[in-house]
C-alpha cells in the first residue's frame, strides 16, 4: 500500500513538472514582441516647411456641360463605375433643340435667297455684289447650324474614358452654368497628390525632388512619404501663394480624394548628421534618450543611451551613442525591455 502511495506521488510530481515546463515555454513564447526596425542614416536635416492641402487623384477629370440650363436627368451615382461613351447626364433640351431648329430654318432661308439671287444674276437683273452677299449669308447660316448642333451634343455628358465617379457635384433639377463641373471622374488606379500653397519666402527654398512627410487626418500619427513633382512659376491670385504638387506613397492604405493633409517638406539644406525617427526614442530627458538596438542574432534587443540634438519634424539628430547603419527599433519600442526577445516584421 505504501509503495502505491509513493508511485502516485512520483507521478504527480512528474506531471506537475511537465506542466510547469509547458507553462514556462508558453510564457517565453508570449514574451516575443513584434517590432519594426530601420538603420541609422546620415542626411542633411533642416527645419521643415509646413503647409496644408487636400489629397486628390492625379488622374481626376472634371466633366461639365458646355451650355447652361436645367439638368433634366442624371444617370449615375457617386462611386459607380462607368464605361467609355456611357451617358452620365443631360440638360433639358427644350431651348437647345429650338435653337437648332431655328438655325436650320435660317439655313434653309439663306439657301433659297442664294438660289434666287443667282437666277437674277443669270438674267442680269442683279449685281455680283448681291450674289456674294447672299453666298456669305448662306455660309454664315451653315456655320450657325454647326454651332447649335455642337452645343446640343455637349448638353449631354458622356464618359470620355472608363473609370469611377468620385464625386457628383450637381443634382437633377438644378440650374447649372456653362463649364461648371457636374462630376469628377477618376480614370483608374493612379498616383495621389497633395497640392499645397507656399509663401514666397518658402518657394525659393524648395526644388523638384525634395522629400516631404505627409500626415492625413484619416490616419492620425501615420507618416506618408512624398516628394515634390511640380512647382508653380506664378502666384495663385486667389490665395497669394505658389502651389507645389507632392506625390504621395499610399503605404498600402485606402486613399480617397478630399482627405485633409499636412505636409512637412525637407529642403535638405542643413548640416549632414546622423538621423533617426523621433518615435524610436524612449525616456527622453533634455539632450539624452534611449533607443533599442537590434542585436546581431536578430532575435533580441539592447537598450542603449544616446545624445540627441535638434528635432526636425519627424526626425531627430543624433550627436553620439550609436553608429551609422545600426539597426534600431522604430515601432514597438515602448513595450520593450533590455535583452527582450523580438520578432522583426517588415515596415512596408
pLDDT digits (tens, 9 = 90+) for 255-274: 887 889 999 888 766 667 88
* pLDDT the model gives residue 23: 46
* pLDDT the model gives residue 19: 53
* pLDDT the model gives residue 15: 47
- Check: CB of residue 336 under 8 Å from CB of residue 343: no
Would you call 250 helix, strand, or coil by DSSP?
coil
The pLDDT of residue 210 is above 70: yes
Q: How far apart are CA 152 and CA 159, in angstroms?
A: 16
Q: What's the average model confidence in pLDDT over 316-332?
A: 89
Q: Which CATH number fits domain 94-154: 1.10.287.470, 3.40.140.10, 3.40.50.1980, 1.10.357.10?
A: 1.10.287.470
More confident residue, 9 or 347: 347
- Taking the complete model, does pTM exceed 0.85, yes or no? no
DSSP state of 295: P
* pLDDT the model gives residue 347: 60
Q: How confident is the model at residue 143 (pLDDT cuts 50, 70, 90)?
A: very high
Q: What's the average model confidence in pLDDT over 8-16?
A: 50
User: What's the gap between Cα 173 and its chain centre?
Assistant: 32
Q: How far apart are CA 275 and CA 306, in angstroms?
A: 12
Q: What's the average model confidence in pLDDT over 49-66?
A: 86
pLDDT digits (tens, 9 = 90+) for 297-318: 888 899 999 999 877 767 888 8
* pLDDT the model gives residue 348: 53
* pLDDT the model gives residue 28: 46
* pLDDT the model gives residue 258: 83
Name which of 14-28, 135-149, 280-294, 312-326 the model is least confident about: 14-28
* pLDDT the model gives residue 244: 92
Name which of 28-32, 58-62, 155-159 the model is least confident about: 28-32
Q: How confident is the model at residue 89 (pLDDT cuts 50, 70, 90)?
A: very high
- Check: CB of residue 55 under 8 Å from CB of residue 338: no
Set of cell numbers at residue 246: 507632392
**Domain 31-45+271-344 top-level CATH class:** mainly beta
Beta bridge partners, 1, equal none
Q: Is 135 exposed, middle or buried (0-12, 13-18, 19+ CB in 10 A)?
A: middle
The pLDDT of residue 284 is above 90: no
DSSP state of 63: E
Measure CA of the first residue to CA of the last residue in the chain; give whole Å: 67
Q: How far apart are CA 147 and CA 165, in angstroms?
A: 29
Fold of 49-58+191-265: Elongation Factor Tu (Ef-tu); domain 3 (2.40.30)
Q: How far apart are CA 156 and CA 171, in angstroms?
A: 14
The percent of residues in the chain predicted with pLDDT above 70, rounded, is 88
- List C-alpha distances in Å: 210 to 243, 260, 264: 14, 21, 11
Q: What's the average model confidence in pLDDT over 60-77?
A: 89
31-45+271-344 and 66-89+157-186: identical CATH topology: no
* pLDDT the model gives residue 2: 46
Q: Report whether CATH 3.30.559.10 matches the domain 66-89+157-186.
A: no
* pLDDT the model gives residue 115: 92
* pLDDT the model gives residue 25: 46
User: What's the gap between Cα 56 and its chain centre?
Assistant: 5
Mean pLDDT of the chain: 84
Q: How confident is the model at residue 254 (pLDDT cuts 50, 70, 90)?
A: confident
Cα-based angle 267, 249, 78 (whole degrees, multiple of 5):
125
The greatest distance separating any two alpha carbons of the chain, rounded to the nearest whole angstrom, comes to: 149
The ranges assigned to domains in the chain are 31-45+271-344, 49-58+191-265, 66-89+157-186, 94-154
Set of cell numbers at residue 254: 485606402
The pLDDT of residue 14 is above 60: no
What is the sign, positive or negative, of the torsion defined by CA atoms of 301, 302, 303, 308? negative
Gyration radius of the chain's alpha carbons: 36
The pLDDT of residue 105 is above 90: yes
Please choose, from the candidates 71, 161, 146, 132, the residue with its C-alpha nearest in 3D space to the C-alpha of residue 103. 146
* pLDDT the model gives residue 190: 60
- List C-alpha distances in Å: 298 to 304, 341, 344: 16, 9, 8
Q: How confident is the model at residue 192 (pLDDT cuts 50, 70, 90)?
A: confident
Cα-based angle 176, 181, 182 (whole degrees, multiple of 5):
70
Residue that has been written with the C-alpha cell 443667282 in this structure: 118
The pLDDT of residue 86 is above 90: yes
Q: What's the average model confidence in pLDDT over 288-301?
A: 89
The pLDDT of residue 79 is above 50: yes
Amino acid at each position: 500500500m505504501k509503495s502505491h502511495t509513493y508511485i502516485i506521488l512520483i507521478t504527480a510530481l512528474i506531471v506537475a513538472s511537465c506542466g510547469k515546463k509547458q507553462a514556462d515555454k508558453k510564457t517565453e513564447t508570449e514574451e516575443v514582441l513584434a517590432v519594426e526596425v530601420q538603420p541609422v542614416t546620415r542626411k542633411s536635416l533642416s527645419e521643415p516647411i509646413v503647409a496644408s492641402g487636400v489629397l486628390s487623384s492625379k488622374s481626376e477629370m472634371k466633366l461639365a456641360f458646355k451650355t447652361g440650363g436645367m439638368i433634366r436627368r442624371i444617370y449615375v451615382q457617386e462611386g459607380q463605375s462607368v464605361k467609355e461613351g456611357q451617358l452620365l447626364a443631360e440638360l433639358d433640351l427644350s431651348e437647345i433643340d429650338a435653337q437648332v431648329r431655328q438655325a436650320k430654318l435660317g439655313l434653309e432661308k439663306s439657301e433659297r435667297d442664294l438660289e434666287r439671287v443667282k437666277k437674277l444674276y443669270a438674267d442680269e437683273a442683279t449685281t455680283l455684289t448681291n450674289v456674294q452677299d447672299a453666298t456669305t449669308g448662306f455660309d454664315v447660316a451653315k456655320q450657325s447650324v454647326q454651332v447649335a448642333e455642337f452645343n446640343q451634343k455637349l448638353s449631354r455628358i458622356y464618359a470620355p474614358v472608363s473609370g469611377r465617379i468620385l464625386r457628383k457635384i450637381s443634382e437633377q433639377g438644378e440650374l447649372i452654368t456653362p463649364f461648371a463641373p457636374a462630376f469628377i471622374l477618376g480614370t483608374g488606379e493612379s498616383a495621389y497628390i497633395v497640392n499645397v500653397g507656399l509663401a514666397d519666402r518658402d518657394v525659393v527654398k524648395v526644388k523638384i525632388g525634395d522629400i516631404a512627410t505627409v500626415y492625413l487626418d484619416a490616419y492620425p500619427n501615420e507618416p506618408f512619404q512624398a516628394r515634390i513633382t511640380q512647382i508653380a512659376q506664378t502666384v495663385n491670385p486667389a490665395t497669394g501663394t505658389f502651389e507645389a504638387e507632392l506625390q504621395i506613397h499610399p503605404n498600402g492604405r485606402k486613399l480617397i480624394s478630399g482627405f485633409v493633409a499636412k505636409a512637412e517638406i525637407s529642403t535638405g539644406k542643413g548640416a549632414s548628421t546622423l538621423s533617426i525617427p523621433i518615435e524610436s526614442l524612449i525616456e527622453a530627458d533634455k539632450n539624452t534618450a534611449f533607443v533599442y538596438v537590434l542585436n546581431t542574432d536578430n532575435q533580441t534587443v539592447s537598450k542603449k543611451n544616446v545624445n540627441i540634438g535638434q528635432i526636425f519634424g519627424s526626425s531627430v539628430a543624433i550627436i553620439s551613442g550609436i553608429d551609422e547603419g545600426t539597426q534600431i527599433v522604430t515601432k514597438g519600442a515602448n513595450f520593450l525591455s533590455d535583452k527582450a526577445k523580438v520578432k522583426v516584421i517588415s515596415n512596408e
